[in-house]
């Protein structure tokens, strides 16, 4: 039997609904930055998502500690922010953040998905209603 390791994602934010996470990953949620490093050693995650709005000043400290220890180099670090800021984003990128997730982008993706579902339901509804409206005799 072949065992496939499930991807573990560590999310550091105030609430779980604040940060969008992929559905195919095992998510471990932490609200306190001081619990981050014990959780990394316990769960050995493949990735970390840091909520910049929640951590604010601690974000830089956490990223510097992640870069200082070679044990953490395999972990992919993402940062969730409410809006882009060029100076802060550049600093975070040099400290090791590989991907930024902005709230504005996730809202627009959700709106696009909702409109696509609405259009698909309209098409299906019109085809079903059209076939039901035709007399069969």
Count of domains in the chain? Answer: 1
Residue 2 domain flag: no
Residue 1 domain flag: no
Residue 136 domain flag: no
Residue 129 domain flag: no
From the centroid of its chain, how far is CA 57?
Answer: 21
Residue 15 domain flag: yes
The closest alpha carbon to 20, from 99, 118, 115, 74, belongs to 99
Write down the pLDDT at residue 42.
Answer: 92
Residue 70 domain flag: yes
Task: Give me the CATH number covering residue 66.
Answer: 3.40.50.2300
Residue 52 domain flag: yes
Cα three-residue angle 43-47-53, rounded to 5 degrees: 105
Write down the pLDDT at residue 4.
Answer: 57
- Please give the structure tokens belonging to residue 50: 């840091």
Kind of pairing between the strands at 99-102 and 76-81: parallel
Cα pseudo-dihedral 89, 95, 97, 103, rounded to 10: -30
What residue ranges of the chain have pLDDT lower than 70?
1-6, 16-18, 22-23, 105-137
Write down the pLDDT at residue 134.
Answer: 60
Q: Find the domain containing 15 and state its range.
A: 8-102
Residue 72 domain flag: yes
d(CA 40, CA 47): 10
d(CA 111, CA 104): 11
Report pTM.
Answer: 0.70
């Amino acid at each position: 039997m072949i065992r496939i390791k499930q991807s573990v994602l560590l999310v550091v934010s105030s609430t779980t609904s604040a940060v969008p996470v992929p559905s195919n990953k095992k998510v471990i949620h932490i609200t306190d930055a001081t619990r981050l490093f014990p959780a990394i050693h316990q769960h050995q995650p493949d990735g970390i998502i840091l909520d910049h709005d929640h951590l604010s000043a601690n974000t830089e400290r956490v990223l510097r500690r992640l870069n200082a220890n070679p044990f953490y180099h395999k972990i992919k670090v993402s940062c969730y922010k409410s809006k882009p800021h060029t100076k802060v984003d550049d600093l975070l990128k040099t400290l090791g953040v590989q991907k930024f997730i902005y709230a504005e982008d996730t809202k627009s993706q959700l709106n696009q998905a909702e409109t696509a579902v609405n259009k698909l339901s309209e098409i299906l509804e019109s085809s079903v209603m059209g076939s039901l409206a035709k007399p069969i005799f």
